Amino acid sequence: MRLTQRLLLGAFLVVGFLALFIVVMVDRQLGERLRADATASLTQEAELAGVLWHRDPLQPDSVADRVGGALHRRVTLIRTDGTVVGDAEFDGDALAALQNHALRPEVAEALAGRVGTSRRPSPSTGTDQVYVAVPVPPLGVARVSEPTEGLDATISAGRREVLFGAVVALLGSLLIAFLFARAVSRPVEELRDVAQALADGDLTRRPTLHAPGEVGELAKALRSLAEQLSTRLHALEADEALLSQLIESRNEAVIAVDTAQRVVRMNETARHLLDVAEPLPFPVDLLPRDVALRDALLAAFDGESTEGAEVVIGGRTLNVTARPLEDGGAVLALFDLTRVRRLEAVRRDFVANVSHELRTPLTVIGGFAETLQAEDVSLADRRQFAHRILGHTLRMQRIVDDLLDLSRIESGGWVPNPEPIDLNTMASEVLAGAHDAAEEKGLALERAIAAEADTVYADATALRQILGNLVDNAVRHTATGRVVLFSEREARGCRVGVRDTGTGIATAHLPRIFERFYRVDPGRSRDHGGTGLGLSIVKHLVEAHGGRVRAESAPGTGTTISALFPDAPG
pLDDT for 175-216, tens place per residue? 877 777 777 667 777 777 777 777 777 767 777 766 666 767
Strand positions, DSSP E, 290-417: 306-313, 316-324, 330-336
Higher pLDDT, residue 527 or 563: 563
pLDDT score for 403: 67
Q: Taking the chain, what is the end-to-end CA distance rounded to the nearest angstrom? A: 69
Confidence of residue 425 (pLDDT cuts 50, 70, 90): very high
Helix axes 379-410, 534-544, angle to 10 degrees: 30
Give the mean model confidence (pLDDT) for residues 77-82.
90
Q: Is the pLDDT at 480 greater than 50, yes or no?
A: yes
Look at residue 168 and tell me whether its pLDDT is greater than 80. Answer: yes
Q: Which residues of 236-252 are buried (b: 16+ CB within 10 A; e: fewer)?
A: eeeeeeeeeeebeeeeb
Q: Which helix or strand (DSSP H or E) is residue 293 part of?
A: helix 291-301
Q: Where does the pLDDT of residue 563 fall: very low under 50, low under 70, confident under 90, or very high at 90 and above? A: very high
**Cα 79 from Cα 85, distance rounded (Å):** 7
| pLDDT score at 382 | 78
- The confidence score (pLDDT) of residue 526 equals 44
More confident residue, 112 or 270: 112
CA distance linking residue 309 with residue 292, whole number of Å:
7
Residue predicted with more confidence, 546 or 199:
546
Beta strands at 482-489 and 444-449: parallel, antiparallel or unpaired = parallel
The pLDDT value given to residue 528: 47
pLDDT in tens, 261-272: 888 888 878 787
Whole-number pLDDT of residue 494:
94
Q: Comparing 237 with 209, which gets the higher pLDDT?
A: 237
Please state the rounded mean pLDDT for residues 419-441: 91
What distances in angstroms separate CA 198 from CA 3, 188, 216, 222, 275, one per listed residue? 20, 15, 18, 10, 38
Q: Residue 472 — φ and ψ, nearest 5°?
A: -60, -45
Rounded to an integer, what distance in angstroms lies between the CA atom of residue 57 and that of residue 96?
A: 18
Q: Say yes or no to pLDDT of 33 above 90.
A: no
Residue 26 has φ and ψ, to the nearest 5°, of -65, -40
The pLDDT of residue 476 is above 80: yes
Does the pLDDT value for residue 413 go beyond 80? Answer: no
What pLDDT does 38 receive? 83
CB 154 within 8 A of CB 67: no
Amino acid in position 275: D
By CB atoms closer than 10 A (0-12, 13-18, 19+), residue 346 is: middle
Determine which helix (DSSP H) or strand (DSSP E) holds 260, and give its type and residue range.
Answer: none
- 254 pLDDT tier (thresholds 50, 70, 90): confident
Q: Which domains does the chain have, with CATH numbers?
A: 3-154 (3.30.450.20), 250-336 (3.30.450.20), 341-409 (1.10.287.130), 415-566 (3.30.565.10)
Q: Which of 309, 308, 306, 303 is nearest to 325 (CA)?
A: 303
Q: Which residues have a Cβ under 8 Å from the Cβ of 115 and sit 6 or more positions away?
A: 43, 109, 132, 133, 134, 135
306, 321 contact by CB (below 8 A): yes
pTM above 0.85, yes or no: no
| Of 119-123, 393-397, 525-529, minimum mean pLDDT range | 525-529
Helix/strand/coil for 118 = strand
What integer best gives the mean pLDDT of the chain? 80
Instruction: Name, in order, each residue with C-beta under 8 angstroms of 556's C-beta and a sequence gap of 6 or more.
Output: 503, 504
- The CA distance from 270 to 253, in Å, is 4
**pLDDT score recorded for residue 346:** 64
Whether the CA torsion 291, 292, 297, 299 is positive or negative: it is positive
Q: Give the model's confidence band at 248: pLDDT under 50 very low, under 70 low, under 90 confident, else very high.
A: low
Give the dihedral sign, CA 284/285/287/290: positive
Q: Is 473 in contact with 560 (CB distance < 8 Å)?
A: no
**pLDDT at residue 524, as a whole number:** 43
Residue 508 confidence (pLDDT): 77
pLDDT of amino acid 393:
79
pLDDT of 134 higher than 80: yes
Residue 477 CA neighbour count, 13 Å, CB half: 31
Residue 263's pLDDT is 85
DSSP secondary-structure letter at 434? T
Alpha helices in 379-529 (DSSP H): 379-410, 423-433, 435-441, 460-476, 522-527
Q: Is 519 exposed, middle or buried (0-12, 13-18, 19+ CB in 10 A)?
A: middle
Q: Residue 399: which residues within 8 A CB-CB, separation 6 or more? A: 354, 357, 358, 531, 533
Question: What's the rounded Cα separation, in Å, for the pair 130 and 122?
Answer: 9
Percent pLDDT > 70 in the chain is: 85
Q: How far apart are CA 129 and CA 107, in angstroms?
A: 14
pLDDT tier at 421, thresholds 50, 70, 90: very high
Distance CA 40, CA 481 (A): 150
In whole angstroms, give the CA distance from residue 348 to residue 352: 6
Instruction: Measure the CA–CA gap between 32 and 28, rounded to whole angstroms.
Output: 6
pLDDT in tens, 283-334: 888 888 888 888 888 888 888 888 877 778 777 788 888 888 877 788 888 8
Question: CA-based angle 191:193:194, to the nearest 5?
Answer: 65
Looking at per-residue pLDDT, the higher value among 143 and 334 belongs to 143
Q: What is the mean pLDDT of residues 250-260?
A: 81
Q: What is the mean pLDDT of residues 121-128?
A: 71
Give residue 514's pLDDT band: very low, low, confident or very high (50, 70, 90): confident
CB 495 within 8 A of CB 487: yes
